[in-house]
Structure 1
Amino acid sequence: MADLFFHTPLRPKFTRRPHRRHQNRRSRMVRPRGSRLSRDVRSSLSPRIHRLRPARPRYSVSTQYPMAQLFRAFLLKALHGWSHETALVEYLQQRPSLGEQLGSETLPDQSTLWRTWNQRFTTEVQETIQKAAQTILVKAEMAGVDVPRSPPRTINRLDENDEDTALNDQEVLSKTDKVVEEIQRVAYPSFSLHRGESREIHTNSFWDLQTYLGLRENLAANEGARSFTLESDRERTPLGHTHRSSLRELSIGEVRGMYREAVGRLIDRLAETNEFYRAGTVAIDITEDDPFTGDRAGHESEIIGTKEKTDEYAYQWATVQLVGNAVPLVLDARPVRKGDTRLEIVRDLLDSAEEMVMVDDVLMDREFDSQHVLEEISSRRLQYVVPKRMRTSEKETARQLCEHDIDRQSVDRGLHLGDDEWHETTLVYRRKENSEHTDYRQYSVFMTNYETEAIGKYGSRWEIESGYKSIKRFMAATTSKNFVLRFFYFAFACLLYSIWRSVDLLVQVELAGEYDRPPVVTANSVLTLLKKQTGIG
């Protein structure tokens, strides 16, 4: 953990905003800059750390420790959740190398730390340290990095005159229970099955079972249906084979239509608050389903393979998600079949996204660095940031930057579209922090059709990767190769994820009057309450 810190039914389409393309696009060079906290962590803090200035000391004894070192020390203390300075002192004494990373060869003693926190740091600084620690813990945990403790659900307000501003667990759980019940009524009616008039099992019991399967890790339909029958208070529940066969009768288009309607209803509910805006940055990406082996007969057009060169193969799904300062929702999902071009995928997903929200920026990874994809985004008057795969010319430019010790440079580039048509973009070369390489591989290259500073937004794209980890946690297990069934499992997991993040926003707004990106409601809490409200809790 120390290494982590110290290296620290369809809606009307929205009218698109005018393109804010910049005019001055001259080549620029920027000399090296130092930064401890990553951009995505710094930008999530309010007020930002680098704008803070500690209060003047209220005691006369001078200190030899710079404020930056003390700030880092207390951030380490907050990361571990220690109540007293003694634990921090003992921890640092046992790890002398951390003193150097803190910025000093000597370590402050317990009394110095106590005076700094209680007499020198303002309430604003104290709260910022707590918020920084929470942000780091949340992002590290979502990225799969080992953390010393689970992220706190709340930030305790340190104002002595406002003891009731912290959100306690009981308040959060009580409000979450009510919000989950409401959101369930909002989202689930969007889903339906092909069933006759003489049905004896209520359709909602199928969605209850699907939610139940998402509660348990690696729980397949047969075993899950048996457990669900025992735990549910419903008179009749579907058996595993009935559940699967009902889902297989759906088409991909029907699943996507039901999903978009459900998310649209969620957005309508969120839009009733002042903390959700139908606008923001979206990220488009492709993820793999769980891989499998065996006979591919009948699935040749659906199987793409895996990103790793193995004998396994897998279906692939593409999504468009809200990222950045907005509540992270999966707006749409679609399969990726053989023959689907990246342009077709991007066009399809952006059509869906723009029916729900006003898109400002589009983030994608380098597999979408096609000039035709970029032209499609620009033609919609949207801004993009996309990393570029390095070809010969980019490698040569990076070598020259390395030789001249230049951290950053931007150059204009025309990308050929064919028939004397070109797409204009800006290439931004940026040196990676703490790179292990000494040649051109020190640099990353990004493409953007906006100000070069916009590449800082790309840090928001990590949320789509962490989101995928949560989504796959919500997926029911299956050994079936049925394309529709697997896609439904993925889409429903995306819905559970979006429900979780929607519930978190609504709970925060109800209790605190504002939305802070680190969730105060855990996914487990939401799923447990969903389980309870399906009649099995």
Structure 2
Amino acid sequence: MVQLFRLFLLKELHGWTHETALFTYLTHHVELCEQLGLETVPDQSTLWRTWHERFSTKLRETIQAAARMILIKAQDAGVAVPREPERQPPFHDDEQEESNPDNQAILDEAASITDHIGHVVFPAFSLNRGDSCEIHENAYWDLQTYLGLRERLAANEGARSFVYESTRDRTPLGHAHRGQIRNLSIEQIREMYRQAVNRLLGEVAETEAFFRAGIVAIDITEADTFTRDRTGHEDEIIGTKEKTDEYAYQWATVQLVGNAVPIVLDARPVRKGETRVEIVEDLLNSAEDLVHVDNVLMDREFDSQHVLEMISQRGLSYVVPKRMQTSEKAQAKRLLRRDQNRYETDRKLHLGKNEWHETTLIYRRKEDSEHDDHRQYSVFMSNRGSGFLTEYGYRWEIESGYKSIKRFMAATTSKDFGLRFFYFAFACLLYSIWRAVDLLVQVELTGEYEHSPIVTADNTLTLLKKETGIG
């Protein structure tokens, strides 16, 4: 709580109206979070819930008053301040407060929009069953959504509970549910997912707040460490990204970031032997089929020159941090001796034979680094120069999204690769629906869109199950 208090004190000191500005600032100053005792940058939904739901009115007013007093005292002492403080305490504008949507208005609007979205999106999914089946196909999507509402809930236990919460006459048992999902191939799941996302994009694209052109982030996430026997599944349960002796399932996604609503455009499994070029190219093919892409953001595990060349050949820009090798470490040491905070240099990366990829290396010194050597510097690569470097902070949005996505996943001990991937892909869809519903609710109630959600994920999933009967 103390760390969050300090974060919002920082927000008030700068005079930022919304949590979006605070989140963006933190992603560009990760070292500040470490100094505040935070292990990671809090996602925007966490910041929004903390300020609007966890903090009382009195606590919020205390933070605002403290920030105002700090600004006044600092300015009086001749210290530079980020904004001009109000010398008189602000008064409460009842009319302005009444214009802000209350919780009931948000829920009412969310119910209507979720009902519509559910009927548009979920028909893209099909189990390819006959017409004579006693249990309606939509009951399976109902159950899968229900599993997403309860953290770490497996199909067997969830199916037993769902019998009492569902309004349907018949619902699937856990083993039947898993059996139907296992019949779907990886490609079938991916194709259904892309169709569902395309329908979802069609709904949000009708608003002026949706930016169909923009920035995407690509990343790989891991399931929990797999500790059991993986015999016969070595190509699917692969090593972790940290190159330890542990094993895990891995999934790759491409997601809209930046000013756009953070929808996961596509998801795919990662198998042993697949190159990063294959993975990135596959995901970009899907992304560019759905939206116009300008810039690609990735983590340093994608710093291969062949990945960068492929992106450039598509006419796209990229920003990727580079793993520091001997030459980069030597350059960073020279910059440290010169006390230079930033440096750019062109570099040709060897592709093979007489082919080269041209990029720009950008050295940036971290503020308040805990190190006193070359590790004070980070090295980024970009094919558009340093102008795009500020956008790299948006990449944190895909990692933030993974936290919610994993929260929506049903639990399982099965080694079935298709079942595992479906659970992940469906969780990505639930996350995307939540963020799309939130955008539509914000636009309907306020006429604007801020990244900080006003509709909670639990509200959206509950409404999907309750209102649509589709899940």
Q: TM-score range by the shorter chain?
A: 0.7 to 0.9
CA drift at 1:117: 3.2
CA-to-aligned-CA distance 1:193-228 (integer Å, 9 cap, x gap): 132343111100000000000011111000100111
Amino-acid identity (%): 62
Q: Could you tell me which amino acid in structure 2 is paired with residue 269 of structure 1?
A: E
Matched, 1:41 2:21: yes
Determine the structure 2 residue equivalent to 1:410. 344
Matched, 1:532 2:463: no
CA drift at 1:459: 0.2
Q: Could you tell me which amino acid in structure 1 is paired with residue 364 of structure 2?
A: R
Q: Could you tell me which amino acid in structure 1 is paired with residue 195 of structure 2?
A: E
CA drift at 1:520: 1.1
The structure 2 residue matched to 1:455, chosen from 367, 389, 392, is 389
Query: Could you list the runs of 5+ residues in structure 1 that have no partner in the other structure?
Result: 9-34, 46-75, 93-97, 107-112, 120-157
Q: Could you tell me which amino acid in structure 1 is paired with residue 465 of structure 2?
A: K
Determine the structure 2 residue equivalent to 1:118. 90
Q: Could you tell me the TM-score, scaled by structure 2's length?
A: 0.84
CA drift at 1:503: 0.1
Determine the structure 2 residue equivalent to 1:346. 280
Question: CA, structure 1 residues 89+246, in 2 after alignment: closer, same or farther (shift >3 Å)?
Answer: closer
Determine the structure 2 residue equivalent to 1:327. 261
The structure 2 residue matched to 1:425, chosen from 346, 359, 364, is 359
Judge conservation of contact 1:167–1:511 (CA < 8 Å) in 2: yes
Question: CA, structure 1 residues 443+103, in 2 after alignment: closer, same or farther (shift >3 Å)?
Answer: farther
Question: CA, structure 1 residues 40+369, in 2 after alignment: closer, same or farther (shift >3 Å)?
Answer: farther
Matched, 1:500 2:434: yes
CA-to-aligned-CA distance 1:29-75 (integer Å, 9 cap, x gap): xxxxxx999x9836969xxxxxxxxxxxxxxxxxxxxxxxxxxxxxx
The structure 2 residue matched to 1:471, chosen from 405, 416, 422, is 405
CA drift at 1:306: 2.2
CA-to-aligned-CA distance 1:231-260 (integer Å, 9 cap, x gap): 211111110000001100110000000000
Q: Could you tell me which amino acid in structure 1 is paired with residue 102 of structure 2?
A: N
> Residues 143-162 of structure 1: matches in 2 within 5 Å?
162=96
CA-to-aligned-CA distance 1:74-129 (integer Å, 9 cap, x gap): xx99995554899459989xxxxx979x95899xxxxxx9843339xxxxxxxxxx
Determine the structure 2 residue equivalent to 1:443. 377
Determine the structure 2 residue equivalent to 1:361. 295
CA drift at 1:519: 1.0
Determine the structure 1 residue equivalent to 2:44. none
CA-to-aligned-CA distance 1:356-414 (integer Å, 9 cap, x gap): 00001000000000111001111111110000000000000000111111111111111
Determine the structure 2 residue equivalent to 1:32. none
* In 2: Cα distance, 1:522 partner to 1:237 partner: 27
* In 2: Cα distance, 1:425 partner to 1:396 partner: 19
* In 2: Cα distance, 1:529 partner to 1:426 partner: 48
Determine the structure 2 residue equivalent to 1:487. 421
Question: CA, structure 1 residues 310+44, in 2 after alignment: closer, same or farther (shift >3 Å)?
Answer: closer
Question: CA, structure 1 residues 316+229, in 2 after alignment: closer, same or farther (shift >3 Å)?
Answer: same
Determine the structure 1 residue equivalent to 2:235. 301
Q: Could you tell me which amino acid in structure 1 is paired with residue 440 of structure 2?
A: L
* In 2: Cα distance, 1:415 partner to 1:406 partner: 25
Secondary structure at the aligned position of 1:116 is classed as coil
CA drift at 1:7: 8.2
Determine the structure 1 residue equivalent to 2:29. none
> Residues 281-292 of structure 1: matches in 2 within 5 Å?
281-292=215-226
* In 2: Cα distance, 1:395 partner to 1:510 partner: 52
Judge conservation of contact 1:293–1:311 (CA < 8 Å) in 2: no
Matched, 1:193 2:127: yes
The structure 2 residue matched to 1:316, chosen from 226, 243, 250, is 250
Question: CA, structure 1 residues 86+412, in 2 after alignment: closer, same or farther (shift >3 Å)?
Answer: closer
Secondary structure at the aligned position of 1:117 is classed as coil
Judge conservation of contact 2:115–2:467 (CA < 8 Å) in 1: yes
CA drift at 1:493: 0.2
Secondary structure at the aligned position of 1:322 is classed as strand
CA-to-aligned-CA distance 1:298-331 (integer Å, 9 cap, x gap): 2111121223566642110000000000000000
The structure 2 residue matched to 1:378, chosen from 312, 322, 347, is 312
* In 2: Cα distance, 1:196 partner to 1:202 partner: 10
Bigger mean CA deviation after superposition, 252-261 or 192-201:
192-201
Judge conservation of contact 2:139–2:470 (CA < 8 Å) in 1: no
Matched, 1:230 2:230: no
Matched, 1:242 2:176: yes
Judge conservation of contact 1:40–1:460 (CA < 8 Å) in 2: no
Judge conservation of contact 1:231–1:536 (CA < 8 Å) in 2: no
CA-to-aligned-CA distance 1:324-370 (integer Å, 9 cap, x gap): 00000000000100010000001000000000000010000000001
Judge conservation of contact 1:194–1:246 (CA < 8 Å) in 2: no
* In 1: Cα distance, 2:376 partner to 2:6 partner: 20
Question: CA, structure 1 residues 374+85, in 2 after alignment: closer, same or farther (shift >3 Å)?
Answer: closer
Q: Could you tell me which amino acid in structure 2 is paired with residue 331 of structure 1?
A: L
CA drift at 1:165: 2.8
Determine the structure 2 residue equivalent to 1:270. 204
Determine the structure 1 residue equivalent to 2:155. 221
Judge conservation of contact 1:228–1:536 (CA < 8 Å) in 2: no
Q: Could you tell me which amino acid in structure 2 is paired with residue 117 of structure 1?
A: P
Q: Could you tell me which amino acid in structure 2 is paired with residue 118 of structure 1?
A: P
Determine the structure 2 residue equivalent to 1:173. 107
CA-to-aligned-CA distance 1:145-174 (integer Å, 9 cap, x gap): xxxxxxxxxxxxx76765543121111111
* In 1: Cα distance, 2:74 partner to 2:364 partner: 26
* In 2: Cα distance, 1:434 partner to 1:36 partner: 23
Determine the structure 1 residue equivalent to 2:40. none
Secondary structure at the aligned position of 1:283 is classed as strand
* In 2: Cα distance, 1:526 partner to 1:167 partner: 17
* In 1: Cα distance, 2:106 partner to 2:286 partner: 33
* In 1: Cα distance, 2:197 partner to 2:60 partner: 47
Q: Could you tell me which amino acid in structure 2 is paired with residue 259 of structure 1?
A: Y
Question: CA, structure 1 residues 166+5, in 2 after alignment: closer, same or farther (shift >3 Å)?
Answer: closer
Secondary structure at the aligned position of 2:459 is classed as helix
Secondary structure at the aligned position of 2:336 is classed as helix
Judge conservation of contact 1:363–1:385 (CA < 8 Å) in 2: yes
Judge conservation of contact 2:186–2:418 (CA < 8 Å) in 1: yes
Question: CA, structure 1 residues 105+261, in 2 after alignment: closer, same or farther (shift >3 Å)?
Answer: same
* In 1: Cα distance, 2:187 partner to 2:59 partner: 57
Judge conservation of contact 1:221–1:244 (CA < 8 Å) in 2: yes
Q: Could you tell me the TM-score, scaled by structure 1's length?
A: 0.74
> Residues 20-31 of structure 1: matches in 2 within 5 Å?
none
